[in-house]
Amino acid sequence: MCPNSHKLKCPNKIFIRRLTLENLFIMSKKELFVYDLIIKVKEKRISQMKASELLHISDRHFRRLWKAYKTYGLSALISKKRGKPSNNRLPEKLYKRSIFLIKKNYKGFGPTLANEKLLENHKIKISVETMDDSSRALE
């Protein structure tokens, strides 16, 4: 706290707030659990072997996490895949076309029947699970 805070606004207040926001991370429960175990290992409250057992990963994998944490800090524990589309994602054009055809021709159909009709009449092969997801999107 600034010594003259009752008279002046602290010039470092904005800088401190910016630093705090720059280091704000969004983590999943598992990532928080990994972080908690790494802190316990750092404080020597548990061993690396025990931490790896608790995470159900190999000792070697835990050492990789430990090394990444020491090198890059907390950001090393956060998934790099977050916010990126899946590798198995359907092409957007195909997905939109199937949605359009279902709305137009197969409105009352369940996902399995709609899937069969898309394959039979339009030669579009999509999994039933994808059809189920897209039918939920229609509702």
The pLDDT assigned to 103 comes to 85
Cβ neighbours of residue 73 closer than 8 Å, sequence gap 6 or more: none
3-state secondary structure (DSSP) of residue 91? coil
Q: Which residues of 55-94 are buried (b: 16+ CB within 10 A; e: fewer)?
A: eeeeeeebeebbeebeeeeeebbbeeeeeeeeeeeeeeee
Domain boundaries, the chain: 27-77, 92-138
Would you give per-residue pLDDT tens digits along the chain (139 residues)?
A: 444 444 445 544 444 444 444 566 777 888 889 999 999 999 999 999 999 999 999 999 999 999 999 999 888 888 888 888 888 888 889 888 888 888 888 888 888 888 898 889 989 888 888 777 766 666 6
Q: What does pTM read for this prediction?
A: 0.54
The pLDDT assigned to 24 comes to 65
The pLDDT assigned to 46 comes to 95
Cβ neighbours of residue 14 closer than 8 Å, sequence gap 6 or more: none
Asked if residues 101 and 122 have their Cβ atoms less than 8 Å apart, the reply is yes
Q: Could you tell me the end-to-end alpha-carbon distance of the chain, in angstroms, rounded to an integer?
A: 54
The pLDDT assigned to 134 comes to 65
The pLDDT assigned to 138 comes to 60
Q: How far apart are CA 92 and CA 73, in angstroms?
A: 37
The pLDDT assigned to 12 comes to 46
